[in-house]
Chain A
């Protein structure tokens, strides 16, 4: 019997008992579909993160925290009453002071370091509008971080002009006719003094308009000059020590310290001093790790479904072998070898796997076609370029092949039983 006859025969044999075959295929389909969708979404997320990573830049940029502050969150949630320890739990020990900054600057490989100034702006407005809008501000930590600009340029950190970039969505509300028209214009940002509660407006110059992106989503960036002007207003009247404290610091590494080994060395040095340092990659890596874990869990569910489905395959084929005992006997009498009988039933199992997986691919593709544009218009509208579900033909092929292999493995038991049937016994079977 020729290979294609076996494959075609397998398919037509599956059609002999349509209901039973369909239910078995359905079970395989559920498992395959779960795995395909999960990898599809994971692929979409990872592709997007990679894209963002490549455009984010930030080579040699480190964000630094006190080591204790990374664990205090968990410590706070603990059910145990924890004993006070001056080193670990006090708020003071989580802060980074100007002395710490000096120490960080002294670490080998660190070009520069500074405290991350907390900026809480009340509103932003301009001369061309009466309205005031809330705004999320942050001081641009490093020149190496690339910002996706729609127009103009990023703020120059060391410029003597207080500069700001605004997200493109602010352009129209602030009364500018276009992104380009906004460049060089002045805006006013209001901050409230922490002691007097008095609100002051600070005038900033727009250096550029940003595109929306996942890194610093829609945030407005200011340069050092602007950030000092704002924080001076916020913190006026406070003790100097307090002004110089921060929860975060950032450091920029020297240009010749950008290899993985050297970055690790700096991180280790900082760790010894009681700081945790993270690169942009580390931060994105955390998001990735999270998604990978979710993918893993869902994939395990899919695999469990497939294992259950393969028991279905075994069952279906055992029934088929039983029903076709006489046919098996006849074919053996007519000279069909054991290997071919085994192949016939294995291929039925493989085809069950194939159709289940193919159905999974089909539906997953349909969902991709329908959901991707919908997601783009709704909950992902803020993240242009993010396609929620993305399929990689190689991955899909591999999944289909794996499911077919699972089918084959499940089929070996019934196929073996079929191949071992004695033709005389089989023909006598009623």
Chain B
């Protein structure tokens, strides 16, 4: 594991609502995530873990505090640059898959590359490569809807992988899967983390999944309560 910091937050605070009825979803959270780490953001629903992930993934802007991506303060970036950053360096895996169910598996996997404006032949090559990694090459031409839940999530991982991201954000990746297929998907994510040195940030309330990560970030009522490392006391 290299020691380069990939994401660093300082006093990250997110407040929803206007003056009279404000709600602090995230309160002064300062964390540092190193390149190649696997991190679980864990907490009950409503704890602010999703808000933290959204901020880390630059999907939302903090009320105060900073997020540095690769040493650069992202809050100072323009929308275009943020979009570019997300497109080039982040991959996303969601609990509900979010696939275009009528479209082919291949087209679904190619979506981030289409957004990046990569030419069709290159797109196809890279998407097939990504499908190879998740072991679904034979399903490239199938309709996304015809796949099983586990297969769908693997297609989503291929989609998150296709742009060679530095970080993959996974929001409850096994939440919609039974334990056996969930295990498969987990294995896949961790093998990518190890083999491709992709930083993994998993939002979950599943203790077992969280325990497989290098580090857990426990969030409660919007505050960082603990960051136990793997193997440390449970």
Q: A interface vs B, CB < 8 Å?
A: 1-2, 5, 9, 16, 326-327, 329-331, 333-338, 340, 423-424, 427
Contacts and interface: CB of A to CB of B under 8 A. Distances in A.
B125 interface: no
Contact of B114 (A5, A329, A338): A5
A427 B60 CA distance: 13
A380 B201 CA distance: 79
Contact of A334 (B79, B111, B119): B111
Nearest to B103: A12
A334 B92 contact: yes
Binding site secondary structure of chain B:
helix
Contacts of A333: 57, 59, 86, 92
A204 to B, nearest CB: 81
Given A331-B111, A334-B111, A2 B83 contact: no
5 contacts: A1-B114, A2-B119, A327-B100, A424-B59, A427-B98
B102 interface: yes
A331 B98 CA distance: 10
Contacts of A335: 82-88, 90, 112, 115-116
B98 A334 contact: no
A1 B98 CA distance: 19
Given A5-B114, A335-B83, A327 B98 contact: yes
Nearest to A339: B80
Contacts of B60: 424
Most buried by A among B57, B60, B83, B111: B83
B117 interface: yes
A160 B210 CA distance: 119
A1 B83 contact: no
A329 B84 CA distance: 16
B34 interface: no
Nearest to B88: A335
B212 to A, nearest CB: 25
B65 to A, nearest CB: 18
Interface residues of B, number: 27
Contact of B80 (A5, A9, A16, A337): A337
A9 B92 CA distance: 22
A23 B87 CA distance: 36
A330 B87 CA distance: 11
Contact of A1 (B80, B85, B115): B115
Nearest to B91: A334
Contacts of B90: 335
Contacts of B143: none
B54 interface: yes
B173 to A, nearest CB: 14
Contacts of A423: 59
Contacts of A9: 114
Contacts of A331: 111, 115
A336 to B, nearest CB: 5
Interface in B149-175: none
Nearest to B115: A336
B23 to A, nearest CB: 15
Contact of A16 (B57, B87, B102): B102
A335 B84 CA distance: 6
Contact of A326 (B87, B98, B117): B98
Given A326-B98, A423-B59, A424-B54, A336 B117 contact: no
Contacts of A16: 102
A371 to B, nearest CB: 42
Given A331-B111, A424-B60, A2 B79 contact: no
A216 B179 CA distance: 94
Contacts of B57: 333
Contacts of B111: 330-331, 334
B67 to A, nearest CB: 15
Given A326-B96, A334-B115, A424-B59, 16 more contacts: A1-B115, A2-B114, A16-B102, A329-B98, A330-B92, A330-B94, A330-B111, A331-B111, A334-B92, A335-B84, A335-B85, A335-B88, A337-B83, A423-B59, A424-B54, A427-B98
Most buried by A among B88, B111, B114, B117: B114
B144 to A, nearest CB: 12
Contacts of B119: 2
Nearest to A16: B102
A334 B87 contact: yes
Contacts of B59: 333, 423-424
Contacts of B116: 1, 335
B94 A334 contact: no
A336 B98 contact: no
Nearest to B159: A334
A338 B79 contact: yes
